Amino acid sequence: MTLDHITINLPWPDPILFPNRRRGSFRKFQPFIEAARQSGFYAARQALGRNIAGLSDQVPVKITFAAPDRRRRDLDGMLGAIKHNLDGIAKALGVDDSRFVPVTLDRVLDPNKQGFVTVEIGACATHSS
């Protein structure tokens, strides 16, 4: 079966992945990058199941950040924090992430205070929830 949209749920990104955070040495940072990439890959594979993604040349993406608290965070920083997750998602879908156009960002507060990120890919990403 071919899917025209996929909803992928990711955990809240590790604080070290936020671009404005001081990270220290590359060796310390690299395991977090790889973990995020794998997390995105496996979450996308789970969302696909045995299906195939039928995606066009431009793949609309809607990303909703459900923050664990009311701390002020800028959207570009949150997008930067999941960059490696998006790389893993693109790999699982067999596309280059440069095809993710347009990208819509939104933020909400997680009532359970855990924090998570929802990535909607394909046709449903252009519609508001």
Count of domains for the chain:
1
Mean pLDDT along residues 25-52: 91
Q: Residue 119 sits in a domain of what CATH number?
A: 3.30.1330.70
Look at residue 129 in the predicted model and tell me its pLDDT.
47
Q: Supply the pTM of this predicted model.
A: 0.89
Range of the domain at 105: 2-126
pLDDT tens profile 54-69:
778 899 999 999 999 9
Give Rg (Cα) of the chain: 14
pLDDT at 23 over 70: no
Burial of residue 35 (number of CB atoms within 10 Å: 0-12, 13-18, 19+): middle
| Nearest alpha-carbon partner for 100 in 65, 58, 64 | 58
